[in-house]
Amino acid sequence: MYTQRIPTQCSGLFSSRVLPPSVSRSLVGRSIAPQTLRPACRRSTLKTYAVLEKLEKKSGKRDLPTKGLDYKPKDSDNAVQTDILKKLAYVVGADAHAVSDRQAYQGVAFSVRERLIERFNKTQEHWRQKDPKFIYYLSAEFLMGRSLLNTVMNLGLEEEYGQAVKQLGYSLEELVDAEQNAALGNGGLGRLAACFLDSIATLDLPGWGYGIRYKYGMFRQGLDKGFQKEMPDIWLQNGNPWEIARPNISYRVGFYGTVDNFKWTPEEEVIAACYDNPIPGYGTNTVGNLRLWESKPVNEFKLDEFNEGHYVEAVDEKRKAEDISSVLYPNDATEYGKELRLKQQFFFVSASIQDVMARYKETGHKNWKDFPSKACFQMNDTHPTIAVAELMRLLIDQEGLDWEEAWSITTQTLAFTNHTVMPEALEKWPVKVMGKLLPRHMEIIDKIDSIWKDSLKEKVLAQVEKEGKKPKAGAAKPKAVAAEATKTAEKAETADKATEAEEEEEEEDPVTKALNKYGIICENPWAKGVKLVNMAYLAVVGSKAVNGVAYIHSEIIKETIFKDFYDLTPEKFQNKTNGVTPRRWLAYCNPELASLITETLGSDKWITEAYLLEGLRKHADDKKFQAKWKDVKLAKKEKLAGKIKEITGIEVPTKALYDIQIKRIHEYKRQHLNMFSVISRCLDIKKMSKEQKKEVVPRVVVFGGKAASAYYMAKKMIKLITAVGAVVNNDPDVGDLLKVVFLPDYNVSLAEFIIPGAELSQHISTAGTEASGTSNMKFQMNGCLIIGTMDGANVEIAEETGKENLFVFGVDAEDVPRLREERKDFKDYDPRWVTVMKAITDGTFGDAEYFQDLVDNVNDMTKSNDWFLVANDFASYMEAQKEVDQVYANQDEWTRRSILYTAGSGKFSSDRTIYEYAKDIWDVKPVPVPSS
């Protein structure tokens, strides 16, 4: 990225270099002598949120700096350079007199795109000929990040493109900065899905991802006086050179309507429009695919309504359709919001399954019994689990199969990944909502539930009799609810009240009560008489395999949320510990460290054979190697410090411990526990003498992450972070001994800056609440030490790195239920805790009233319950932080541990995870694409 200052003679919002008349030519003019294209003046291509807002207000649009550009190749033998210039002229349509960095990026991107599509087409044709079994990865999120560098590197084109753009006066790095992040996800779920697609292609596995082409992402996060501000993330405003629109491929998806004799007549329909996003594997000719769906209206515009002056009605169908693919996770606090979320899920699932079934028939297959040998759908969390009912509907209603055949195919084709251990996080839809929006699917779910419970009746009856309980005569017949679900909300409510007494009587029967434990349709424990569809239970019953995403997580779900199902079918449950791609998350985001690793190991094979990183262990105590390792880390810290200054204006010292917590803001992730520690540290520093301050290990504490728009407490946590930062960063008594930074709009590209420069990362969720985590793996790969609980993948990271090299604290998962019960009687508050709570409520950091309920939530058990045991873990956490300071003071020991972290990260490559999925669940084999 350019860092030169703007000459004082430059004027205008964006200054461009205009070539003199003797040099400048039209796009089709005479050839000219080679030029060295250096900008006369430039601004940084990355701007803070505040600067962008000013630009938008001033000019009404956002653009990047420009320069004059000669369209004659500087090297007539350089085909890549020639192609880039052609793309600038004839695809981008750039003015040779003023080419912005964004246009230059687009020219390079369209050039790379051609080579990518060429391999993509060859891959798809090869797979069509071989007709292998495919894996189809269904996910509501795919957090892909920027594509230019990843594509160039995976395709092995870095040398020729790097040389070509350099001769044109650019670098790949600055062009990468001109690309916007694809706003297709929010957190770990989406980043995991992106890593999986990279590994599927790298391992030559026939596989596609399926999701939604969100127009505005989740939201673009800004800060307004320290409060989170949500704005649309308009990431498609300049187009997306990496996608391929497929106007010839579309499907109708229906909602609402009526069911008559098992025939569904939707009241509302939308068109699922198709966009392909090729995914290149590394070191292979294979290019996979991410197919995304955009919702469009069947009737774009009603001219008759418009002509009659009904302007809103004229475009109402268009608005409703486009709502579906507008925003990731729309706020579901309203009834419309709830329906919209379910609409989103069904929309992309239905389009995806219809697409796979159409492709199955197009390849000449006629017997649906063979479908499981050609397709496997992996449902990533509960968002796509309506696939169970939709595949059944399509097989029965569209293809004419009977129930038993359809069920056999469904349960051999679907697999389910669970990403939570908290029962309250399992997605449950009110029967009334499901029945109203998807009446035929509610019928199917009701029948699945009835048949499922009927199949367990004898087993449950025997168990009840064994326990000495007496079943009621004629009991245990599951009660159908689909009919009442398809009525209007008012009639359904009346029916619920009319049968309330009967249901209460049924609940008293021990057989019925035992069967209800397995029910896909269950009663809402917080609203008597309200029926819910448990989507996770539907997925467990309708899938051939169920997996957790870390060893401890997989064990917990077998003992808690899915215990009854595990007892019935233990063979169905597996563990598949998550992983991340070492390409993006080490080789590309930290090239300096990657070069050192390659130099030390004598090969770059570790990029695809991550277990080779084990070879670094024997160098961990080598002082010369440690010195090189430290130099790399310092360089990445300096880059991160520059990025922090650029985004926030805050100057942070590089001779400080860089302490990072970048996660979705949530109470169970406990950013407030981190902040309480920061406040305690600040108060301690202020009491110190000058001599005592000399012994303090300086820290830069960095936070990043978004709070869901309707998550009140998470938003308060962000405000607390910014409020404390505003005080600490301007306190002369504290100085450079402590800095607190919140980086707004955390995304993949920002993570690629933060993670290489991090020295300590915080993974401090309450034990037993984090399924796995993937950011901990990215930090580990880059030699960043971890402070954390024995939760999620931290447990396995400790096994690979050595638990003694982590800073472990907190209660154990098995003690959490008991401690929650006892929390109201907890009185053993650490004195530092009391001091911190008082500082917040006294207004030391601003609005004491605003922060009062955040404090009460963890401190006053007459008003709340401290569900995530922040107070219980505080003292232990503070001791772990003390150990962090002690070890960091010994830089040789800190560096030794850092090396061991990277050396132990091989297990957490997504290549390993995908290999296990393919072997144990999908039964999908590699089909490499030949070079010819």
352 with 291: CB under 8 angstroms?
A: yes
Q: In terms of residues, how long is the chain?
A: 932
774 noted as active-site residue: yes
Torsion of CA 144, 148, 152, 158, to 10 degrees: -130
In the numeric block, which tokens belong to residue 741?
């930074």
Torsion of CA 849, 854, 860, 861, to 10 degrees: 140
The single residue of 284, 774, 801, 895 carrying the catalytic annotation is 774
What 3-state DSSP class applies to 925?
A: coil
In the numeric block, which tokens belong to residue 77?
């033998």
The single residue of 17, 428, 558, 664 carrying the catalytic annotation is 664
Distance (Å, whole) CA 701 – CA 697: 12
215 noted as active-site residue: no
Rg of the chain, C-alpha, whole Å: 29
Torsion of CA 904, 909, 914, 915, to 10 degrees: -50
Cα 470 to the center of its chain, rounded Å = 50
Distance (Å, whole) CA 72 – CA 292: 38
Question: 414-444: string of b/e by CB count within 10 Å (b at 16+)?
Answer: bbbbbbbbbeebbbbbbbbbbbbbbbbbbbb
Report the candidate in 526, 537, 529, 484 with the shortest Cα–Cα distance to residue 502.
529
- Which amino acid is residue 404, in one-letter code? E
The single residue of 778, 832, 897, 912 carrying the catalytic annotation is 778
491 noted as active-site residue: no
Collect contacts of 800-805 with beta carbons under 8 A, ≥24 apart: 800/904, 800/905, 800/906, 800/907, 800/908, 801/897, 801/900, 801/901, 801/903, 801/904, 802/900, 802/904, 805/897, 805/900, 805/901
778 noted as active-site residue: yes
Distance (Å, whole) CA 390 – CA 388: 6
Distance (Å, whole) CA 763 – CA 782: 15
∠ CA 285-287-289, rounded to 5°? 170
Report the candidate in 52, 67, 48, 58 with the shortest Cα–Cα distance to residue 107.
67
DSSP-assigned beta bridge partners for residue 278: 289
Lateral strand order in the sheet of 287-297: 244-255, 268-280, 287-297, 207-212, 134-138, 375-380, 414-417, 546-548, 573-575
Torsion of CA 260, 263, 266, 269, to 10 degrees: -170
What 3-state DSSP class applies to 516?
A: helix
- Which amino acid is residue 711, in one-letter code? Y
Distance (Å, whole) CA 132 – CA 800: 36
In the numeric block, which tokens belong to residue 31?
């050839």
Distance (Å, whole) CA 866 – CA 856: 9
In the numeric block, which tokens belong to residue 142?
């795919």
Report how far apart the first and last C-alpha atoms of the chain are (Å, whole number).
38
DSSP category for residue 31:
-
Report the candidate in 549, 555, 558, 554 with the shortest Cα–Cα distance to residue 579.
549
DSSP-assigned beta bridge partners for residue 290: 209, 277
Type and span of the H or E element at 142: none
In the numeric block, which tokens belong to residue 319?
């608005």
Phi and psi at residue 100, in whole multiples of 5°? Answer: -75, 165
| Residues labelled catalytic | 419, 663-664, 669, 774, 778
